[in-house]
Amino acid sequence: MAIHFQAENKCFTLYTEHTTYQIKVDAHGLLKHQYYGRKVIDTDFDYAFLNMDRGFSGNPYDCDPYERSVSLDTMPQEYTSSDVGDYRLTSLNIMNADGSYGTDLRYDSYEILKGKYSIPGLPAAYAEKSDTVETLIITLKDHGTKTTVKLYYGVFSEKDVITRCAVIINESIAAVHLEKVMSACLDLPFGSYDLIHFHGRHCMERQVERMPVSHSIQTVSSMRDTSSHQHNPFVILAENNTDEDQGDCYGIMLAYSGNFRMDVEQDQFGSVRIQAGIHDEKFSWQLKEGECFYTPEVILSYTNEGLGELSRQYHQMIQHNITRGKYHLARRPLLINNWEATGFQFNEEKILSIAAQAAGLGIEMFVLDDGWFGKRDSDNAGLGDWKVNLEKLPHGIHSLAENINAMGMKFGIWVEPESINEDSDLYRAHPDWALKTPSRRPVRSRNQLVLDLSRKEVCDYLFEQLSELLSSANIEYIKWDMNRSLCDIFSTEQSRDQGETSHRYVLGLYSLLDRLISSFPDVLFEGCSGGGGRFDAGMLYYTPQIWNSDDTDPIHQLKIQYGTSFGYPVSAMGTHVSCSPNMQSGRSTPFTTRAVSALSGTFGYELDPNALSKTEKEEIRSQINLFKQYYDLIHYGRLYRISNPFQDHCFAVKEFVSPDQSEALVNVIATDPQANPPLLHIKFKGLNENWLYRFDDKEMILSGAALMYAGYTIPAMPGDYSILQIHLTHVEEKADE
């Protein structure tokens, strides 16, 4: 049993393989958070926190007026409300029917269920057959306002993960307004933490920043209606001394793709509170009598074994319990995409010539990017008109797909269904389908507007159009793009409060994706938003891979992949080899370096093979061999970040180890060649110390212990961005074992 309830002291203890999480109902029915951390069994952690009378921290009315130590302002809790005496971050802010704010949350009941709960309309982790997962639901009630809050906990024992979400139910006889509803609150009363988060920009996503948690509120958020390039809905709280290999750390990941906020606050007594959920700015939700509101899911994980292990826990979770469908664990087809080769300027002949070259080299799928539909000769027109442009492709998509299939390749296609150009037939027919406020002209971005996915008829229309496209030809892959941040959030559907539009947009997007993936289960969907502008666990529930970045520069990718890898597995990161000099950075790099960099992701090509020399074409064949040889190791193995590209400026080193430890691959990329270089010494990780490992192409055999503890010195790597791959295989057990 992962969830234990002790009736005599009203204590809920959640166990995973290596962690313990505890919640207790106090004498007043208040729900206390007692512990989250390394596994400790059979303990009521009540002893660890002392209630004290604190000035200016008020006491609930039902406490003895002469015993002033119980205060919501100091108590570690599971979920908090505004205006009831806790002045720290608030999980829930409801404007009640009488105009008052606040919800007096008291324990009512609980349920323990086998398996994992799901969340209607929202992405949520699911249990695999082999998983032991249990659900705890704790019901809290405010008997005055007749508000019920249900807190859901999904306990994934083998994954060391606890998921959470909250459901708010209005049981009164009048409507109330939700002004803020967080998914989860986590209080850590002791310890000194750093906040690690992943900021960025278009073409440089998920850069790592680490800073001490201070006596202030630190917020990571997006108000762009996508999770954004600028901030990722994933943060880590790590004890100050935690590094890659040791130390306490907590991951907080939100499975949501719209406006979000994650706040960290250290209070007056040093207690740290972190919350995650939908951003409350411009949010309000009318909850009519009898209605309920579901928050997005938060995926929590903890380890005392450092940031590397925390990441590996998330990799397992995302791969096995978030991504779905035919391809979530299967090898993805090796693809070539024409975007960087042609932009909008192509015709059938050009596309077929790229495809024919690619097929000859052993590439498995051709993806036709932007420009194939409507009047799409530039990014100024056509979005919304998902019908083939017969000037460019006179024989249509069906025939193109057939021709490409005849070459032995699969065929995939790019779409950007959420956006619309004013110069499109769709806009001319339905100008009110675009998000626009009545009183001003909308902001254009890439000269496009955004369709109002909060409206069912818009989603239904997109479903029909995309179904028609997918049924019209043998399309086996969709790149689902979204190329702007939203604003002018106003839906012409009059019946609702506009504070609901943003969240309803995300719900519309999720339901559209869900309908499509259920109707076309064999199609591989890749998410994209100008690269990695919507790279989150919410989208990964529908699209098992997401284009990592529009910056395909292999050296910039090292940082982007490094940052992304804290929360997301290699199998989720779309990465391609592109031409040199790179189109975004202008940097020239060797072909092999570009391949080794892109191999730490889904892998593919983003170039015109017609422009390659004979030697380069030959090289593609060997890169494809590497891709096939190392696919399982890289995609199903364990990732170890050996170097930190934000600190180590000369080399980037990462290692993949097979789950049974019998094989390892270390990729080294020199990022700044040195004259008279210091020796580069690395320590392998994750090997079996008692085993012997043989280096490929060398007679050398060393023990796991030697490689991990004494380490290995990398031979000099002169030249521009040279690479080294070290592949080890377990040969035999040591005689003295």
Give me the amino acid identity at 139.
T
- Least Cβ distance, residue 529 to ligand GLA (angstroms): 7
CB of 382 to ligand GLA, least distance (A): 11
The three-class DSSP label of residue 673 is coil
- Of residues 154 and 531, the one with the C-beta less far from ligand GLA: 531
Q: Residue 515 pairs with which residues in a beta bridge?
A: none
Q: Compute the least distance from the CB of residue 537 to ligand GLA, in Å.
A: 20
Helix (H, G, I), strand (E, B) or coil at 578: strand
Q: Is residue 205 within 8 Å of residue 564, measured between CB atoms?
A: yes
Instruction: Mark whether 131 is an active-site residue.
Output: no
Amino acid at 412: G
Residue whose C-alpha is closest to residue 103's, from 89, 88, 86, 84: 84
- Distance CA(303)–CA(405), nearest Å, equals 47
Does residue 547 touch ligand GLA according to CB under 6 A? yes
Smallest distance from the beta carbon of 654 to ligand GLA, in angstroms? 24
Whichever of 524 and 669 has its CB closer to ligand GLA, that residue is: 524
Does the protein bind ligand GLA through residue 531 (CB under 6 A)? yes
Of the pair 20, 582, the CB lying nearest ligand GLA is at: 582
Binding status of residue 502 toward ligand GLA by CB under 6 A: no
Query: Of 372 and 427, which has the nearer Cβ to ligand GLA?
Result: 372
Residues 625 and 619: their CA atoms lie apart, in Å, by: 10
Half-sphere exposure of 2 (CA within 13 A, CB side): 26
Site string for ligand GLA, 614-633 (x = CB under 6 A): --------------------
Cβ proximity to ligand GLA, 35 vs 605, nearer residue: 605
Instruction: Indicate the residue among 369 and 476 with the shorter CB distance to ligand GLA.
Output: 369
> Which of 481, 526, 608, 655 is in the footprint of ligand GLA by CB under 6 A?
481
Q: Is 510 in the site for ligand GLA (CB under 6 A)?
A: no
Q: What is the footprint of ligand GLA within residues 347-376 (CB under 6 A)?
A: 369-370
Applying CB under 6 A, does 483 fall inside the site for ligand GLA?
yes
Q: 291 and 6 in contact (C-beta within 8 Å)?
A: no
Q: Report 567-596 residues binding ligand GLA (CB under 6 A).
A: none
Q: What is the DSSP string of 394-409?
A: TTHHHHHHHHHHHTT-
The rounded distance, in Å, linking the Cα atoms of 661 and 653 is 19
**Residue 550 sits in the site that holds ligand GLA (CB under 6 A):** yes
Judged by beta carbon, residue 530 or residue 604, the one nearer ligand GLA is: 530
Q: Rule CB under 6 A: say whether 160 interacts with ligand GLA.
A: no
Q: How far is the CB of 591 from ligand GLA (least distance, A)?
A: 21
How many residues make up the chain in this entry?
737
Closer to ligand GLA by Cβ: residue 481 or 619: 481
Hey, which residues between 112 and 151 contact ligand GLA (CB under 6 A)?
Answer: none
Q: What is the rounded CA–CA span in Å between residue 555 and residue 642? A: 16
In the bound state with ligand GLA, the residue whose beta carbon lies nearer, of 22 and 424, is 424
Q: Which stretch in 42-50, 72-80, 310-318, 524-532 sits in contact with ligand GLA by CB under 6 A?
A: 524-532
Query: Rounded distance, CA 103 to CA 181, Å?
Result: 12
Q: Considering the complex, what minimum distance in angstroms separates the CB of residue 95 from ligand GLA?
A: 40
* CA trace torsion 133, 506, 544, 595 (10° rounding): -140
Q: Which of 378, 362, 371, 381 is nearest to 339 (CA)?
A: 371
The least CB distance from residue 605 to ligand GLA, in Å, is: 13
Complex with ligand GLA: residue 314 or 414, whichever CB lies closer: 414
Return the residue of 528, 570, 598, 666 that touches ligand GLA, per CB under 6 A: 528
* Comparison of 152 and 477: residue with beta carbon closer to ligand GLA: 477
Considering only the stretches 215-223, 528-536, 561-569, 691-699, report the one whose residues sit in contact with ligand GLA under the rule CB under 6 A: 528-536
In the complex, minimum distance from the CB of residue 670 to ligand GLA, in angstroms, rounded to a whole number: 28
The count of other CB atoms within 10 Å of the CB of residue 733 is 11
Helices 501-519 and 456-472 pack at an angle, to 10 degrees, of 30
Binding mask 236-275 for ligand GLA (x = CB under 6 A): ----------------------------------------
Cβ–Cβ < 8 Å for 116, 133: yes
8 Å CB contact between 680 and 713: yes
Could you identify the residue written with the tokens 């008020």?
Answer: 58
| 339, 568, 656, 712: which one binds ligand GLA (CB under 6 A) | 339
Single residue of 251, 325, 384, 530 touching ligand GLA by CB under 6 A: 530
Stretch that binds ligand GLA, among 85-93, 268-276, 523-531, 613-621 (CB under 6 A): 523-531
Q: Is 477 in the site for ligand GLA (CB under 6 A)?
A: no
Spatial CA neighbour of 551 closest among 507, 598, 505? 598
Euclidean distance between CA atoms 488 and 158, whole angstroms: 44
Tokens found for residue 47 = 């002893």
Q: Which residue is nearest to ligand GLA (CB)?
A: 370
Among residues 655, 673, 644, which one has the least CA distance to residue 726? 655
Angle between helix axes 591-598 and 614-636 (nearest 10 degrees) is 20
> Cβ 589 to ligand GLA, closest distance in Å?
19
> Which of residues 415 and 664 has its CB atom nearest to ligand GLA in the complex?
415
- To ligand GLA, the closest distance from the beta carbon of 468 in angstroms equals 21
Taking the complex as a whole, the smallest distance from the CB of residue 355 to ligand GLA amounts, in Å, to 17
Interface region with ligand GLA, contact rule CB under 6 A, candidates 182-190, 437-445, 525-533, 585-593: 525-533
- The pairing of strands 410-415 and 477-480 is parallel
Could you give the string, one character per residue 395-434, with x where binding to ligand GLA holds by CB under 6 A and - elsewhere?
-------------------x--------------------
For position 314 contacting ligand GLA by CB under 6 A, the verdict is: no
Neighbours of 308 (CB within 10 A): 23
Query: If residue 463 lies in a helix (H) or strand (E), which one and from where to where?
Result: helix 456-472
> Which residue is catalytic, options 616, 632, 648, 689?
616
Q: How many residues bind ligand GLA (CB under 6 A)?
A: 11
Assess whether 64 carries a catalytic annotation: no
**Rounded CA separation 35/33 (Å):** 6
Residue among 411, 409, 358, 369 at smallest CA distance from 623: 358
Task: Kindly list the distances between the CA atom of residue 359 and the CA atoms of 75, 405, 522, 609, 703, in Å, as whole numbers in the listed order.
Answer: 64, 10, 21, 10, 42
Interacting span for ligand GLA (CB under 6 A) from 403-411, 527-535, 553-561, 632-640: 527-535
- Other residues' Cβ atoms within 10 Å of the Cβ of residue 35: 24
**Pairing verdict, β 217-222 and 335-337:** unpaired
How many CB atoms sit inside 10 A of residue 399's CB? 14
CB of residue 552 vs ligand GLA: minimum separation in angstroms?
A: 9
The catalytic residue among 280, 309, 500, 536 is 536
State the Cα–Cα distance between residues 678 and 424, nearest whole angstrom.
60
b/e code 511-546 from CB counts within 10 Å (16+ = b): bbbebbbeebeebbbbbbbbbbbbbbbbbbbbbbbb
Specify the stretch interacting with ligand GLA by CB under 6 A; choose among 122-130, 317-325, 526-534, 640-648. 526-534
Q: What is the largest CA-CA distance in the chain?
A: 88
CB-nearer residue toward ligand GLA: 225 or 550: 550
- Residues with active-site annotation: 536, 616
Given the rule CB under 6 A, which residues bind ligand GLA? 339, 369-370, 414, 481, 483, 528, 530-531, 547, 550
